[in-house]
Amino acid sequence: MDIRSLAIHGGANGDPYTGAVTVPIYQTSTYAQKSIGQHKGFEYSRTGNPTREVLEKLIAELEEGYRGFAFGSGMAAISSVLMLLKSGDHILVSDDVYGGTFRVIDKVFKNFDLEYDFINTSDIAKVRDSIKDNTKMIYIETPTNPLMKLTSIHAIAEIAKEKGILTVVDNTFATPYLQRPITQGADIVLHSATKYLGGHSDLVAGLVVVNNEELGNRMHFIQNAVGAILGPFDSWLLIKGIRTLPIRMDRHCENAEQIVSWLSKQSWVKKIYYPGYNDSQDVLSSQMSKAGGMISFEVDSEATVEKVLSNLKVITLAESLGGIESLISVPAKMTHASIPEEIREKIGITNRLIRLSVGIEYVEDIIKDLDISLK
């Protein structure tokens, strides 16, 4: 089934008990048992819930993986994946990574003796040279947040498999509609489902998909043991969001391409970060169907940043991304403020960098908001 149909019909078609077309919200904590251990597949909603199960099956099908898991946030999903590691293990992480990911590794997991290096994972030779005897995971974002760098998932997975290392891909920006990392060789794919998958800025959630039974059993143990699960109502909302993912992503991408073209003609825009725009066109064409709806661009001064932000009528100044509405932010002062300034400056996350999550509004209205010449 094509992914445009699978997004609508995957997971489950309605409710087998009542015939309801929409999956119900099973707002319950526990389930009656006929006798000890005899039940209808559910015992306690931390371990499993019918609404959450439909969502987990849906994301596994969309990502072409073995098993899916739904968590209370993207960071809960990331943290649970990192719990696959043990004290003394080493992880390689994309240097241009979401600030929350940097923070949880650098401020939390290092307290449990997890070793880590943040490197440019787009440089395959650098990745190979950075692997240590105790390296157990390579964690990549592609496209990265916020500089939109692309990493060849296939190339990373090949290196990792040679060494018995897990490949983990944060697929939040691309979504399974544009990119399916497991088909490229990744072991685990994860999402901040708060973003494009939910799509309406009305929930916080995280999703994980694994590629085999052994990883599935380990992730389920962690999910159940830690309990960072997604509740049934948010699971239901997320299913509804995913049902419209393909049509939304088509508009996000279409609008973004037009905005990139317009930005490229503005004298105050000094650099544009958009997948495949400056380089890595070969990586883009090999693993993504389109470049997505996220754009970052560096302007000529911090005064210009303020001028852009003060001109907004359609675009909203806010953290997060991937909603139907356009959202704008300054990563160095917002989403990536937890990364030390010297590291931000070194990799290019300056105070002059603006990140735009392109919504599905009429594109000319978005461009008018960005056009400082209209002030």
Residue among 46, 103, 243, 368 flagged as catalytic: 46
Q: What is the pLDDT of residue 375?
A: 63
Per-residue pLDDT reduced to its tens digit, 118-130: 999 999 999 999 9
Length of the chain: 375
Q: What is the mean pLDDT of the chain?
A: 95
Query: Distance (Å, rounded) from C-alpha 350 to C-alpha 341?
Result: 9
Distance CA 159, CA 161 (A): 6
**Model confidence pTM above 0.75:** yes
Domains of the chain: residue spans and CATH: 3-243 (3.40.640.10), 246-374 (3.90.1150.10)
Residues 198-236: tens digit of each pLDDT: 999 999 999 999 999 999 999 999 999 999 999 999 999
Closest CA relative to residue 306, chosen from 352, 260, 348: 352
Task: Establish whether 110 is a catalytic residue.
Answer: no
Q: What is the pLDDT of residues 158-201, one digit of tens each?
A: 999 999 999 999 999 999 999 999 999 999 999 999 999 999 99
Burial label, 285 (beta-carbon count in 10 A; 0-12, 13-18, 19+)? exposed
Q: Which stretches of the chain score pLDDT less than 70?
A: 374-375
Ramachandran sector of residue 64 (left: φ over 0; alpha: ψ -120 to 50; beta: rest): left
Amino acid 85 reads L
Residue from 136, 195, 290, 344 carrying the catalytic annotation: 195
Catalytic residue among 89, 170, 234, 369: 170
Spatial separation of the C-alpha atoms in residues 98 and 170, rounded to whole Å: 10
Q: Active-site residue 98, yes or no?
A: yes
Q: How far apart are CA 74 and CA 369, in angstroms?
A: 30
Distances (CA, A) of 296 to 256, 261, 283, 293: 11, 13, 19, 10
Which is catalytic among the residues 26, 95, 96, 98? 98
